[in-house]
Chain A
Amino acid sequence: MSRSYLPHWVHWLGSPPNFYRFAGALRPWLMAVALVSAVIGLYGGLLLAPPDYQQGDAYRIIFIHVPSAWMSLFIYATMAVAGLVALVWRVKLAEVIAMECAPTGAAFTFITLVTGSLWGKPMWGTWWTWDARLTSELVLLFLYFGVIGLYNAFEDRRRGARAASLLALVGIVNLPIVHYSVQWWNTLHQGTTVNFLDPARSSIAPSMLWPLLVMALATHLYFFASLLGRTRTGLLSLESGKQWVRALVGGQPAQTTGAPT
């Protein structure tokens, strides 16, 4: 086996029934911590943080806009990595994970665009402008739609997943464009607020920064919880003929005859 260098638990987790059980056990905990941190983050952002000296209370959209924007990129990267594994090693679980990333990624991208629009209207005086940051984020949404559409266009779901994974990999070029668009082009969109490499250069007060980071944590945990749930359903659907799914759904193995169900 050429894959023997992988630790044992990777093989164990890569098997659909094992992953199904593992995800089912982990998911409620992730969602619980996500909800608790969202409540803390929103309390800090909407009640504790002071109004901005320039933008007043309108800036409070930042606590959902920026975490959603980060998620739109993070989920795309996750989808592309899973897609790469799906294409190179043809791992069924990776195919499902890659495809189940797309709807949540599209959801966060959509939230980013809408909340940005609602923030842009009072601050810039316009709902929309074709500047580099906004346009590249819109392209990101269309990439997600492209992945979902291509996946659904195939009769053979596994071939569809691999084709869509290839599209996801090609679309990766858009990620640095989104991220650096505010530096490469002269845009209406404001520059980077939080600088992770050099925190001293972050142009945000600590009382506003911590709720933002807690919301970022909440959205990441939410994404993992959502992905685990979607992947479980995806595995059930893809493996519907398999013994483990029959046992799980029917309670009785199919070949036993005469037994009451």
Chain B
Amino acid sequence: MKSIRGQFILVFSAMALSATVGCGSYGGGAGVVPEVTFIEAGGEDAEAAEATSESSAELPTGSLKGKVTLSGGSPTLPLLIAKGSAVKDAEVCAAEDVPDERLIVGPDGAVSNVFVYLSKAPKGARPLEVPAEPFLFDQKTCKFIPHAVIIPVRQTVKVLSNDSVAHNTHTFPSKNAAINSTVNPMDRDGLVSFAYTKAEAVPLAVKCDFHAWMNAWHLPLDHPFGAVSNASGEFEIANIPAGKHSFVVWHEAANGGFVQRKLEVEITAGETAEVSIDYPASLLKL
């Protein structure tokens, strides 16, 4: 090819050819029409046998009692909000001292707000009784009340407010649908109400977007075998079917959340098993 014009015609037609041919007909790429295979809906034979399992009245049950103690250190957290400090909506949110509830330790090292629960209901256990009355989740001086709680699935949760500023309740579940709704100031009726439909593997965070320091933890469970440690670090779970069980111990200040992934306990019929849960300070991530 001697002439420049000829060369350009060749180049242009080569480009035009590759453009028209494109990739579609070469066996791949975006232009190829995919095949579609239909799959039947199926799976309607859901084993509703859970409801028909043997009544727990016949199964022997025992209880579990315990106390969670912090070992190897006792950090005291400074106040989250000091009274009168210059935070947003200070006339409400700084009306009194607000403690940092991430780690509440009693004088003997007792840790509050520790969740102890079974990840799955044991076979043949008593079914969950969903309370008819709603669970009231309140907030005052920009602090959620309660801070850590187990809520049965399908129980209505009503969000109340005892503050004269707007709050919003924003939940961050893994398996349930999230809620993000404003709460009217001084709402004592609980206009915002919802219910959890599925049990979660670990407690979920509840926050307020207006006041970013506010938080709480909810654990929806589909069985009654769970408890949160009280101010003395103690908890009790009753009517557990006799046998070996593996409990989850979870606390918000622990690194990764788990104080113990598997707390193996043997429950004997008619007796109360006692455990003393050690919470090493090395686990803390504050």
Do A and B pair up? The answer is: no
**Which residues of chain A have a CB within 8 Å of any CB of chain B?**
none
**Which residues of chain B have a CB within 8 Å of any CB of chain A?**
none
